[in-house]
Structure 1
Amino acid sequence: MPFFAFYDAERFHGDPKPRPGVRVSFMPDKLAAARERAARTGRPDDLPSVGNEGLMVNEIATDVPRWPSSLWRVADLEPMRPIPAFRWLRCRAFTVTEEVPVWLVAGPHGEAVEQVIDRTRTLTGAQADALAALPDEGEDPLKRTLWARWSRDHHSGSPVGCALTTLHQIIADAAWQVGPHLFGPDEEDGVEVLKDPAWLSAFGAAYAAALAFGNPELLAPEENAVLTRRWTTVFGTPDLPPRQPA
């Protein structure tokens, strides 16, 4: 059963808001108003292109392109056009069946990945320094190994869905709260990007931990321990509720 990811009211161009049992319909006027606001502010936006309107639905949760605020299973899709060969489509309407945990966008072990994301959102300068002060030996080759093993059966995407791009954005947001002195111009386009070595190292620790927690079956336990060592030294292991037997 496919998934609809809700982000916020600004990015939602339907009515009513998702909840179990309701029929949600695409509202072209909402999208038109969002485009007008984007044109006035001059800010980059992620609005669907002309000809690609509708409510985006993903067949697989890990294909959701960014971390949502809520995630819903939907049924009775009314596609805007014939269903394409890829794993998402735009709909005129769908029926909401149930709300499911947001962390499913990072895969079956996404609950631990979500805890890494939540910690990173509120990362402090002291915590970034603590992560950076720990040795990162062994992380890079193990990350390459994990990616290679995952890629044998996957030709696109990420081992933890949108979690890695989410981490990239939220660590920059957390660093900006500490101060703009942590940023500098990108050499290619001149935009301000995170440059501080300690914060970049902290991002590396979060990235490695997300990969290992999200894919424990791809590496041996001792290899996973290397990938998560810096993260767990500072924050401990994820506190997860016991899983129900399958």
Structure 2
Amino acid sequence: MSFFAFDDVEHFYGEPEPVPGARVSFAPDKLIAARERPAGRQVDRQPAGDEGLLVNEIATDVVQWPSSLWRVADLELMRPIPAARWLRCRAFTVMEQVPAWLVAGPHGDVVEWVITQTRTLTGAQADALAALSDDGEEALKRTLWARWLRDHHTGSPVGCALTTLNRVITEAARRVGPQLFGPDDEEEVDVLTDPAWLRAFGAAYTAALALGAPELLTPQENAVLARRWTTVFGSPVLPGR
């Protein structure tokens, strides 16, 4: 089984757009146009030989939360990448759309709930999360990661969800105001520095791990990790659960 993660038209270098039954082919001109837009000039139009449509063999290897996720088959491969779990394709056939939350694993629907709440986080909610005790979180987080890394050398128990959380809480904080940010001299950019919002991010992070990878800890331990988040937002109500 292989998966194609669709972001948006700006980052899609194929045609036609994915729908069940479509044969999607790599469109080099779309990739070249995307490279030229930020440069404001023409770029080398000679293909490097390794471009193509990126397909993942495992959904949790998708590196960015997609707007839609598709199961694909009949891959027309480009140059193979030894030992890689991703492939570059000239074309593939779209089989069906599957839930985008599969990129966070079998419990990704609960992780998606945490991301959705984080995306619209308010100052009052961040303050409420920050005011709650985080006793026990750090030790349990270390235990969870140690157990994960016993069998995995890379990646995350919830796929790209943790980096997605970092992005969406930054976006939420920017809507509140610039006073929540400060300079990062090394990167020469403004980063989130407000203590309450950083603690709120910690609550989202641990809740995503506890709810998205419950097999790594006991139910009681997972409840401690998710406690701050569920105290403020309650338990997720999801179809089929």
Same fold (TM over 0.5): yes
The aligned amino acid for 2:176 is V
1:187 alignment counterpart: 185
Deviation at 1:51, TM superposition (A): 4.1
Q: Residue 202 of structure 1 corresponds to which residue in structure 2?
A: 200
CA contact (8 A) 2:180 2:193 kept: yes
CA deviation string 1:59-107 (max 9, x = no partner): 0000000000000000000111135321001111000000000010000
Q: Tell me the residue number matched to 1:30.
A: 30
CA distance in 2, matches of 1:220, 1:188: 40
Report the secondary structure of 1:53's partner residue. coil
TM-score, normalised with respect to structure 2: 0.95
Structure 2 partner of 1:134: 132
Alpha carbons of structure 1 residues 185 and 50: separation in structure 2 relative to 1, 3 Å: farther
2 CA distance for matches of 1:108 and 1:96?
A: 22
Amino acid at match of 1:28: P
Contact 2:80–2:87 (Cα < 8 Å) also in 1: no
Hey, what does 2:122 align to over in structure 1? Answer: 124
Paired letter, 2:148: W
Letter in structure 1 aligned against 2:33: A
- 1:162 paired to 2:160: yes
2:228 is equivalent to residue 237 of structure 1: no
State the secondary structure of the residue aligned to 2:95: strand
What is the number of residues matched between the two proteins?
236
Q: CA deviation at 1:241?
A: 2.5
Name 2:102's counterpart in structure 1. Answer: 104
Give the counterpart letter for 1:11 in structure 2: H
Aligned to 2:52: 54
In structure 1, the partner of 2:44 is: none
Of 73, 78, 81, the match for 1:80: 78
Partner of 1:11: 11
Q: Distance in 2 between matches of 1:226 and 1:2?
A: 36
Residue matched to 1:21 = 21
Residue 94 of structure 1 corresponds to 92
Query: Which amino acid in structure 2 is aligned with residue 13 of structure 1?
Result: Y
What TM-score does the superposition give when structure 1 sets the normalisation length? 0.93
Residue 44 of structure 1 aligns with which residue? Answer: none
Amino acid at match of 1:177: R
CA RMSD of aligned residues (A): 1.3
Which secondary structure does the structure 2 equivalent of 1:152 belong to?
helix
Partner AA of 2:20 in structure 1: P
Alignment identity in percent? 75
Unaligned runs of 5+ in 1: 42-48
Structure 1 residue 190 displacement after superposition: 2.3
